[in-house]
């Protein structure tokens, strides 16, 4: 492996006299990798069901696993009980808490969000009455982002599918902006050896230009006094500290220092021009992959979008229908075509404003399709943290649940009490999906697009 590391990157790293290059090479020659997850605090389950090794020190809900399981075969993964996320990137949780951004409701944007690691983290860490907009420019990846946030189960989320430039039309709107920027990927060399063959200085330059374009086109959406969390999975300063200096020069931002424990192994670095503080994660120093991040605060005055002139359409949602299925405390329901959604009432005007400037993939929780005076419940509702707990349910064994997740026919023996109609299926007490119990059969309503293959 050591002789495969790109020479240009090697020269850059060896230029730092304090960098332990031998240890860096050795860890890349070592095929042993860490596996980590982050628990969904809204879905309380028995942690002993997971093969947990130890906590991740910079993330309240993060844990290292003793070994990497086949997540696809764990129903708790499909229930949204946890998210498989690389440990270094969970540092965002520590930053949010150090800045006390979790204490009051704020508006947050995760600009380059798919597949959803940082978005689900924000949705768990930030105040439950805040609003998260998770954006992804690539359509297919936006669908994956929507699915992962849906499994997380909270209604205070909007998923958008837009170029970052669209957010320039929302000046001063967000209190927090997370930009996990597309990068050259050298931080993934330890985890993914194929990334080595794709790396080049030309790609570093291309990524640096792309990062500048993404930030320049969207930074106006961050309010005065708002925070920007910028990160990459690259070791190249052209994509990291140099970008931080460029942002300070160009957009009136200032560096914010976050105190970290020496024992964590995180390297605190300074940019060349402004001595801005940033954080580097190296796999030979931390139990995690390569990662870079910096925190900045917008100092310059920023005009803000006004919601006062926003007009909402007449709400055509059938009154009382959502209340039959979900806890509507602080929420309202609205129709999108014939699909009924629930969303925080306090952000009704926000949704109207966002709809005018963004293409929205999803807003809130889709709870079902309206048919006459009835509702065909959606899979989103089954995984929602707002679903009524008195809806009929069946607890399935692991074998039966895997049959369900493959969207195969369930035996009638799973319904010994003869429940009829819409029924939730559970595993270890956690809701996973719908069946419709008929007199002579059980219809499996698990979505075909997310069913698991026969592993």
Whole-angstrom CA distances from 100 to 106, 227, 440 are 11, 11, 55
In degrees and rounded to multiples of 5, residue 226 shows phi and psi of: -80, 160
Determine the Cα–Cα distance for residues 149 and 362; give it in Å rounded to an integer. 10
Is 17 known to sit in a ligand binding site? no
Q: Do residues 322 and 377 touch, judged by C-beta distance below 8 A?
A: no
**Around 190, how many Cα atoms within 13 Å sit in the side-chain half-sphere?**
27
Element (H, E) at 232: strand 222-232
Q: How far apart are CA 272 and CA 280, in angstroms?
A: 15
Annotated binding residue at 136?
yes
User: Is 139 within any annotated ligand binding site?
Assistant: no
CA distances from 436 to 62, 377, 410, 423, 443 (A): 36, 10, 11, 6, 5
Alpha carbon distance 77, 84 (integer Å):
9
115 is an annotated ligand-binding site residue? yes
407: three-class secondary structure by DSSP: coil
Residues sharing a CB contact under 8 Å with residue 229, sequence separation 6 or more, in sequence order: 92, 95, 176, 177, 178, 179, 293, 294, 295
Q: Say which of 59, 183, 233, 293 is annotated catalytic.
A: 233
Cα–Cα nearest to 116, from 96, 130, 135, 129: 135
118 assigned ligand-binding residue: yes
66-101 CB burial, b ≥16 within 10 A, e <16 = eeeeeeeebbbbbbbbbbbbbbbbbbbbbbbbbbeb
Residue 34: φ, ψ to 5°? -85, 155
- The answer to the question of whether 392 is labelled as a binding residue is no
Is 183 part of the annotated catalytic residue set? Answer: no
Contact by Cβ (8 Å): 319, 328: no
287 marked ligand binding residue: no
Could you give the CA distance from residue 128 to residue 142 in angstroms, rounded to a whole number?
Answer: 23
Closest CA to 170 of 223, 115, 245, 249: 223
The reply to whether 352 sits in an annotated binding site is no
**Catalytic positions:** 233
Return binding residues for S-adenosyl-L-methionine: 112-118, 136, 163, 180
């Amino acid at each position: 492996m050591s002789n495969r590391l790109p020479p240009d990157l090697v020269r850059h790293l060896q230029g730092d006299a304090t960098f332990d290059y031998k240890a860096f090479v050795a860890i890349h020659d070592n095929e042993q990798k860490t596996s980590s997850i982050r628990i969904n605090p809204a879905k309380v389950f028995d942690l002993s069901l997971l093969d947990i090794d130890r906590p991740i020190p910079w993330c309240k809900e993060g844990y290292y696993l003793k070994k990497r399981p086949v997540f696809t075969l764990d129903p708790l993964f499909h229930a949204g009980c946890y998210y498989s996320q690389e440990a270094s990137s969970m540092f965002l949780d520590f930053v949010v808490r150090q800045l006390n951004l979790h204490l009051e409701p704020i508006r947050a944007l995760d600009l380059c969000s798919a597949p959803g690691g940082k978005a689900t983290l924000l949705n768990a860490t930030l105040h439950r009455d805040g609003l998260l907009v998770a954006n992804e420019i690539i359509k297919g990846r936006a669908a994956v982002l929507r699915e992962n946030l849906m499994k997380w189960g909270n209604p205070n989320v909007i998923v958008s599918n837009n170029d970052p430039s669209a957010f320039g039309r929302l000046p001063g709107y967000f209190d927090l902006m997370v930009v996990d920027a597309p990068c050259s990927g050298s931080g993934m060399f330890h985890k993914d050896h194929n990334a080595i063959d794709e790396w080049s200085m030309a790609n570093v330059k291309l990524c640096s230009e792309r990062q500048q374009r993404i930030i320049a086109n969207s930074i106006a959406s961050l309010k005065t006094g708002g925070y920007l969390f910028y990160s990459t999975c690259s070791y190249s300063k052209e994509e990291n500290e140099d970008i931080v200096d460029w942002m300070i020069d160009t957009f009136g931002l200032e560096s914010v220092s976050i105190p970290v424990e020496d024992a964590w192994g995180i390297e605190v670095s300074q940019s060349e021009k402004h001595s801005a503080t940033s954080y580097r994660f190296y796999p030979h120093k931390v139990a995690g992959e390569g990662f870079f991040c910096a925190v900045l605060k917008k100092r310059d005055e920023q005009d803000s979008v006004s919601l006062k002139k926003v007009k909402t359409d007449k709400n055509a949602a059938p009154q009382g229908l959502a209340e039959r299925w979900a806890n509507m405390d602080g929420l309202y329901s609205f129709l999108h075509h014939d699909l009924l959604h629930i969303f925080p009432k306090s952000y009704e005007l926000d949704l109207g404003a966002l709809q005018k400037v963004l293409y929205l993939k999803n807003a809130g929780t889709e709870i079902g399709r309206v048919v006459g005076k009835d509702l065909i419940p959606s899979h989103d509702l089954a995984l929602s943290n707002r679903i009524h707990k008195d809806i009929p349910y069946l607890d399935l064994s692991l074998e039966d649940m895997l049959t369900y997740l493959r969207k195969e026919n369930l035996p009638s023996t799973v319904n010994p009490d003869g429940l009829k109609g819409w029924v939730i299926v559970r595993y270890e007490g956690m809701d996973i999906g719908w069946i419709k119990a008929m007199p002579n059969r059980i219809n499996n309503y698990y979505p075909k697009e997310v069913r698991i293959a026969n592993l």
